[in-house]
Amino acid sequence: MRMIWLSKGLLVGLALAATSAFAADYPSKDVHIIVPFKPGGGVDTSSRILAEYGNKHMAKGKLEVENRAGGDGVVGQTFAAKAKADGYTVLAMTSSVVTNPILKQTGYKLEDFQPVALYNTDPEVIVVGAASPFKTIAELLAASKERPLTVTVAGIATSHHMAGLALEDSAGMKFTYVPTTGFGAQLQAVMGGHVELGLFPLGEIKKHADAGTVRILAAASDARLDILPNVPTWQEAGLNIKRWTTFRGWAVPKGTPEAAVKYLSDLLGKISTDPAYVKQMNDYGFPIAYKDAAGFTDEVNDYAEVTTRVIAKHGLKEKQ
């Protein structure tokens, strides 16, 4: 049998040529955005808006949204983590990617993902039903110090549940938590008066507040939002929390070619400057907050540091 020996220089050259060919050809087919939640929530809605505007910039293939709900995000996150690292599977990454591996037995860890870009940070808001007796945050705060109020959150140990725990710590509020398995059930609980309040990301609830079916009493942003000029911040309301936001962005499996990461990051950057996209996102209550891969990685790491402390303090860790 004849053997052919290749020099190290030739091997490097072949690798560089392959990388160059990948960069020139990517994307050559549809890119699937894995949303690890049911349709209708903030992650799903914002992902579909992104796909709509992103497809204007795609020469080949399309951005396709694929819902893989279950396990408070674990099902879809696991699927994305185990997918081929070729740039064609993108995870709609939220804060639960940080906390789920700490709280549950998962088949992935945070380090299995490469953050691509951030597109939105979403302030937490305190919401009551339209028929609620609480007209102001001051009234709700006073009542919550006298007795535990029932509050619905999208799952135990989510960022929203942690926001409630932070309010108990910082403002002396008392809550009895009523977790749900999705945004729809959470909304119905508030609208129907089955609970006294809900903790939501602004982007999921703004349309319903605009329609008058719920009222937003306070928002956990640094300053009053232009889209909610009459709603006080948590700090203004005396809750002693300056800011509580969750993030939304894109991530890919670790090992995805750098050329694909850069393409997707740049794509989100282009979308974020489209005036029509900005208007639609603001109308839904999704403030634009673009950061590239490096900036998003820093955001993820900061969130991981804060939430790990909250989880440890309140004994939320479920893993045995």
Shared-domain flag, residues 161 and 48: no
Structure tokens that stand for 57 in this block: 């910039």
Query: How many Cβ atoms sit within 10 Å of the Cβ of residue 137?
Result: 22
Shared-domain flag, residues 130 and 184: yes
Shared-domain flag, residues 114 and 151: no
Shared-domain flag, residues 304 and 221: no
pTM for the full model?
0.75
Out of 189, 218, 245, a domain closes at: 245
Angstrom distance (rounded) from CA 286 to CA 309: 27
Residue 53 lies in a domain: yes
Shared-domain flag, residues 72 and 51: yes
Residue 4 lies in a domain: no
Shared-domain flag, residues 287 and 258: yes
Shared-domain flag, residues 116 and 250: yes
Predicted local distance difference test score (pLDDT) of residue 319: 47
Which of helix, strand or coil describes residue 6? coil
Residue 156 lies in a domain: yes
Domain span holding position 43:
27-121+246-313
Angstrom distance (rounded) from CA 303 to CA 249: 13
Shared-domain flag, residues 116 and 132: no
Predicted local distance difference test score (pLDDT) of residue 310: 84
Strands (E), the chain: 31-35, 63-67, 89-94, 113-129, 149-153, 175-179, 197-201, 214-219, 245-253, 288-291
Mean pLDDT of all residues belonging to the chain: 90
Residue 10 lies in a domain: no
Alpha helices in 73-158 (DSSP H): 74-82, 96-103, 137-146
Predicted local distance difference test score (pLDDT) of residue 312: 87
Which among 251, 280, 255 has a CA at the least distance from the CA of 265? 251
Shared-domain flag, residues 130 and 232: yes
Q: Residue 156 pLDDT > 90, yes or no?
A: no
Phi-psi region of 315 (alpha: psi -120 to 50; beta: other; left: phi over 0): left
Residue percentage of the chain with pLDDT more than 90: 71
Q: What are 113's strand-pairing partners?
A: 253
**Contact criterion met (CB below 8 Å) for 162 and 310:** yes
Q: What is the CATH number of the domain that holds 175?
A: 3.40.190.10
Average pLDDT over residues 130-149: 98
Angstrom distance (rounded) from CA 78 to CA 62: 23
Out of 245, 268, 290, a domain closes at: 245
Query: How many Cβ atoms sit within 10 Å of the Cβ of residue 307?
Result: 19
Q: What is the CATH number of the domain that holds 77?
A: 3.40.190.150
The identity of residue 46, as a single letter, is: S
Q: Residue 13 pLDDT > 90, yes or no?
A: no
Q: Residue 266 pLDDT > 90, yes or no?
A: yes
Which of helix, strand or coil describes residue 128? strand
Predicted local distance difference test score (pLDDT) of residue 14: 45
Q: Residue 18 pLDDT > 70, yes or no?
A: no
Structural domains counted in the chain: 2
Angstrom distance (rounded) from CA 274 to CA 295: 20
Shared-domain flag, residues 42 and 114: yes
Predicted local distance difference test score (pLDDT) of residue 42: 87
* pLDDT tens figures, 44-77: 999 999 999 999 999 899 999 999 999 889 999 9
The angle that helices 293-313 and 96-103 make with each other, rounded to 10 degrees, is: 40
Report the half-sphere exposure of 300 (CA within 13 A, side-chain side). Answer: 26
Structure tokens that stand for 249 in this block: 């962005």
Q: What are 151's strand-pairing partners?
A: 177, 197
Give the confidence band of 10 by pLDDT, cuts at 50, 70, 90.
Answer: low
Q: Residue 15 pLDDT > 50, yes or no?
A: no
Which of helix, strand or coil describes residue 83? coil
Predicted local distance difference test score (pLDDT) of residue 5: 56
Residue percentage of the chain with pLDDT more than 70: 92
Angstrom distance (rounded) from CA 238 to CA 10: 67
Q: Residue 20 pLDDT > 80, yes or no?
A: no
Q: Residue 100 pLDDT > 50, yes or no?
A: yes
Residue 11 lies in a domain: no
Residue 173 lies in a domain: yes
* pLDDT tens figures, 194-247: 999 999 999 889 999 999 999 999 999 889 998 899 999 999 999 999 888 889
Out of 225, 245, 265, a domain closes at: 245
Structure tokens that stand for 51 in this block: 């796909």
